[in-house]
Amino acid sequence: MPGYVLGNFFIYSAINAFTPGPGNILALNTVTNYGYKKGRPLFWGIFAGYYVVQVICAVFVFGVSTFLPAVSGIMKYIGAAYILWLAVHIALSKPDAGTMEKSASFMKGFLLQFVNVKIYLFGITALTGYITDISGSLWVLLLFEVIIATIGTAATLTWVAMGVLIQKTYQKYYRLINIILALTLLECVYSMLK
């Protein structure tokens, strides 16, 4: 696999995983409201759900690539459009403290991931934009989805570990941080389409 493609895959994955999303915001709010110990079941649910959803994405992309190869090329452009939308959305977004959750259960974190459109688009876009041109093997796709889920878990753990600190820092410098992230995503779109 060309290093440039792999590098852009990791850049895209890191930006997508570390930017605010339903899982990260819920984890941040839970740790700031209940603390790490009481929030632990929810965090484990988020992590487990992330891995299951990414396996589903790998199987979906494999099925489409194997049985409908023409759709795979179209999905690359849909993925590029999604990354472009994400870049604009990140550049224009403002911090949102979210809502305070009343319980921190494993099932709440797990089920959140099944309705978290961000991680479906994340997984499918990463595979169709960077990996399927190099390999369409189910095992390779699964490997990269496990990598994505691991990066996502690390991102959520970072939000948990930093708690209020990240929230305050992000709120203070959100405009600069968002513009840098958006420009980096634009480079990822360029690399997908060239």
User: Whole domain around residue 158: which residue ranges?
Assistant: 3-193
Q: Is the predicted pLDDT of residue 193 greater than 90, yes or no?
A: no
* 99: DSSP letter: -
Say yes or no to pLDDT of 1 above 70.
Answer: no
Q: For the ranges 30-34, 163-167, 182-186, which has the lowest average pLDDT? A: 163-167
Residue 170 has pLDDT above 90, yes or no: no
Residue identified by tokens 């797990």 is: 110
Assign 75 a pLDDT band (cuts: 50, 70, 90): low
Angle at 170 between CA 164 and CA 174, to 5 degrees: 160
Which one has a higher pLDDT value, 85 or 147? 147
Which runs of E-coded beta strand occur in 134-176? none
- Report whether 184 contacts 83 (CB < 8 A): no
What does the pLDDT read at residue 100?
44
**Both ends of the chain: CA-CA distance in Å?**
16
What pLDDT, on the 0 to 100 scale, is given for residue 141? Answer: 93
Q: Provide the pLDDT for residue 99.
A: 47
Could you read off the pLDDT of 106-154 as tens digits, one per residue?
988 888 788 777 888 889 888 888 898 888 899 999 999 999 999 999 9
pLDDT single digits (tens) 8-57: 899 989 988 988 777 887 787 777 767 788 888 989 999 999 999 999 99
Residue 193, C-beta contacts closer than 8 angstroms, at least 6 positions apart:
76, 77, 80
Q: State the total domains in the chain.
A: 1
Look at residue 95 in the predicted model and tell me its pLDDT. 57
Predicted local confidence at residue 156, as pLDDT: 92
pLDDT for residue 164 is more than 60:
no
